[in-house]
Amino acid sequence: MGYFVDQLINGLTLGSVYGLIAIGYTMVYGIIGMINFAHGEVFMIGAFISLIVLLLLAQLGVAAVPLAILVTLVLTAVFTALWGFVVERIAYRPLRGSFRLAPLISAIGMSIFLQNLVQLLQGARVKPLPPVLTGRIPLGSIGDHQLSVAVVQVVIVVVTVVLMAGFSLVVSRTALGRAQRACEQDRRMAELVGVNVDRTISLTFVFGAALAAVAGLLYTIYYGSIDFFIGFFAGLKAFTAAVLGGIGSLPGAMLGGLLIGLIEALWSAYSDIQYKDVAVFAILVLILLFRPTGLLGRQEVEKV
């Protein structure tokens, strides 16, 4: 039982990170119907920027860890958002209104480009960061099994929940959110009623990138080692999460992320670790068979 709870906590932490990245996929898909393959790379850039900012702060002598993390969070989000903006302008905007696969290929190209760019600029070696948040919080015990959770795990889950809540508010309550939803429904109609579609789409990428940047920061702190290739794996899992939850749905992305984190942790706990990715994809296929648009996806109305 204690073992189960331990693995549950691991799964939730991992799932939170996946969920944060998945939001970027799901928003972009919701609004322009494309898989932004380069989103994993934006996350990777976020992780690099956060590591650089953290080290700079350490050099400047900022000793208070919470303050340092907060400053890093803001700076990383801002700079990574700029990257998200530029990627959209260069690789996707000229292709808007083009046929479905063109932006996908452009995105794959962008992903290869960004990976190699960061490798060139920052070197191929793994970048380690000494542990920033250490310590564990005891949670009592079950039988003779001591339960505890790492501080950094708590931080990850809390940051994710806060951001999710804030972001849901943005989408449901603000003018930007309304414009976004309008574009999702019908882009041309939205334009006719005065929504600035280009700006809305740009902002969607900016927000997606900012969330990915936060994920990048959390990832850097949690695992303490990044390289230019992390975007691929994380992006793949996050994308799977977005689809599992129903691509285009915000709560779906979070739910999908958590589910995948849990599946990975629990499968690894009770079965062959080497087949955990098979388990993830197999469950994805199963769910899609019974709910073809994912768990929380809108059912498409189809008339024959």
Partner 1 sequence: MQASSASPVTDRLRAALREAAIAGIIMIGIALPLVGFRLQETPGQGLGIAYRFDQVVIAGVVVAIGRFLVALFRPELQQLRGRLAQGGARTVRGGRVSQTAIGIAACLLAFALPFLPIADRYIVDTATTVLIYTMLGLGLNIVVGLAGLLDLGYVAFYAIGAYSFALLATHYDFSFWMCLPIAGVMAAFLGIILGFPVLRLRGDYLAIVTLGFGEIIRIILINWGALTGGPNGITNIPRPSFFGAPFTRTAAEGEVPFHELFGLSFSSMHRVLFLYYLILVLVVLTAVIAARLRRLPIGRAWEALREDEVACRALGVNATRVKLSAFAIGAMFGGFAGTFFATRQGFISPESFTFIESALVLAIVVLGGMGSQLGVALAAIIVVALPEMTREFAELRMLLFGAAMVLVMVWRPRGLIGTRRPSVTLARFTS
Partner 2 sequence: MNAMTKLMLSACAAALLAAAPARADVTFALGIPATGGQIAAIGAQARLGAEAAVKAINDKGGIKGEKLVLEIADDQCDPKSAVSAANQVVSKGIRFVVGHLCSGASIAASGVYDEEGILMMTASATSPELTERGMKLVFRACGRDDQQGVVAAKFIADKFKGKKVAIVHDKQVYGQGLAEAAKKTLADAGVTPAYEGSVNAGERDFSALVARLKQEGIDIVYYGGYHTELGLIVRQARQAGLETRFVGADGLATNEFWSIAGEGGAGTLFTFSADVKAKPSAQSVYEELKKKGEPDNFAFYYYAAVQTLADAVARAGKEPEAVAADLRANGFETVVGTFRFDAKGDLIDPEYVIFEWRDGAYAPTKL
Chain residues 246-265 in contact with partner 2, contact rule CB under 8 A? 264-265
Stretch that binds partner 2, among 26-34, 122-130, 171-179, 210-218 (CB under 8 A): 122-130
- The reply to whether 131 sits near partner 1 by the rule CB under 8 A is no
Task: Tell which positions 63-102 bind partner 1, by CB under 8 A.
Answer: 79, 82-83, 85-86, 90-91, 94-95, 98-102
Selection from partner 1, partner 2, none that 214 binds (CB < 5 to 8 A by kind) is: none
Listed residue (31, 17, 24, 12) closest to 242, CA to CA: 24
Residue of 61, 99, 125, 289 that binds partner 2 (CB under 8 A): 125
Which of the choices partner 2, partner 1, none does residue 79 contact, using the CB cut-off of 5 to 8 A by kind?
A: partner 1
Both tokens assigned to 50: 């956060």
Told to check if 122 binds partner 2 by CB under 8 A, we report no
Tell whether the torsion through CA atoms of 66, 83, 128 and 7 is positive or negative. positive
Selected from 61, 138, 175, 300, the binder of partner 1 by CB under 8 A is 300
- For 198, list phi and psi in degrees, rounded to 5: -55, -45
111 binds, among partner 2, partner 1, none (CB under 5 to 8 A by kind): partner 1
Q: d(Cα 240, Cα 46) in Å, to the nearest integer?
A: 20
Q: How far is the CB of 50 from partner 1 (least distance, A)?
A: 9
Which of 166, 171, 191 is CA-nearest to residue 181? 171
Token pair belonging to 11 = 């799964």
Enumerate the β-bridge partners of residue 149: 137
Instruction: Specify whether the CB–CB gap between 188 and 182 falls below 8 A.
Output: no
**C-alpha distances in Å from residue 138, one per residue of 150, 219, 252:** 9, 23, 31
Binding mask 7-46 for partner 2 (x = CB under 8 A): x--xx-xx--------------------------------
Distance CA 230, CA 151 (A): 23
Instruction: Mark residues 129-158: x for contact with partner 2 by CB under 8 A, - for none.
Output: -xx--x-x-----------x-x-x------
Output 125 or 175, the one with its CB closest to partner 1.
Answer: 125
Q: Does the footprint of partner 1 cover residue 288 (CB under 8 A)?
A: yes
Q: Does the protein bind partner 2 through residue 278 (CB under 8 A)? A: no
Residues 20-49 that bind partner 1 (CB under 8 A): 29, 35, 45, 48-49
Contact 223, 110 (CB under 8 A): no
Shortest gap between Cβ of 146 and partner 1 (angstroms)? 32
DSSP states along 172-203: HHSHHHHHHHHHHH-HHHHHHTT--HHHHHHH
| DSSP code string of 70-117 | HHHHHHHHHHHHHHHHHHIIIIIGGGTTS-THHHHHHHHHHHHHHHHH
As a whole number of Å, the end-to-end CA separation of the chain is 51
Which residues would be at the binding site for partner 2 (CB under 8 A)? 3, 6-7, 10-11, 13-14, 119, 123-126, 128, 130-131, 134, 136, 148, 150, 152, 219, 223-225, 227-230, 232-233, 264-265, 268-269, 272-274, 276-277
